[in-house]
């Protein structure tokens, strides 16, 4: 087992509800959803946050966004709209230090982006 829970989810050592997978990216349901649809998209290569990801290999950001585009284009999310959020560090309220992109939708979200 890795110390990183999302690496364990990638390796299938921890269970998750997978909605998308290719050789680089995994998309799965958030365990504690904040909207009717709340998914997490992660790269299979570990990085701590999106700034760390960009410094390590910026193409990983497009790998994840291409996966989000492919997934959402195949269902009502793209037609109805959705939100992509990535939290960084303490003030960003990041709890899991494997870069992840929240995909939120399935209903009209609140206008609150911060406090």
Residue with tokens 């560090």: 89
**Contact region for Zn ion (CB under 5 A) — 12-20, 28-36, 38-46, 54-62?**
38-46
Annotated catalytic sites, by residue? 100
Do residues 65 and 55 touch, judged by C-beta distance below 8 A? no
Q: Residues with Cβ < 8 Å from 26, sequence gap 6 or more?
A: 9, 10, 18, 20, 41, 42, 44
Minimum CB–partner distance for residue 28 and ligand 5GP (Å): 6
Minimum CB–partner distance for residue 54 and Zn ion (Å): 16
Is position 7 an interface residue for Zn ion (rule: CB under 5 A)? yes
- Structure tokens belonging to residue 9: 């989810």
- Interface with ligand 5GP (CB under 6 A): 5, 16, 28-32, 40, 87, 93-96
Is position 46 an interface residue for Zn ion (rule: CB under 5 A)? yes
Q: Which lies closer to ligand 5GP via its Cβ, residue 35 or residue 77?
A: 35
Do residues 84 and 46 touch, judged by C-beta distance below 8 A? no
């Amino acid at each position: 087992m890795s110390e990183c829970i999302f690496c364990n989810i990638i390796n299938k050592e921890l269970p998750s509800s997978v909605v998308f997978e290719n050789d680089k990216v995994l998309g799965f349901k958030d365990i504690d959803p904040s909207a009717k649809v709340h998914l997490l998209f992660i790269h299979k290569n570990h990085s701590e946050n999106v700034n760390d990801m960009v410094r390590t290999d910026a193409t990983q950001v497009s790998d994840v966004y291409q996966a989000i585009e492919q997934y959402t284009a195949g269902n009502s999310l793209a037609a109805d709209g959705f939100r992509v959020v990535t939290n960084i560090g303490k003030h960003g309220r990041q709890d899991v230090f494997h870069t992840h992109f929240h995909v939120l939708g399935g209903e009209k979200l609140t206008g609150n982006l911060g406090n």
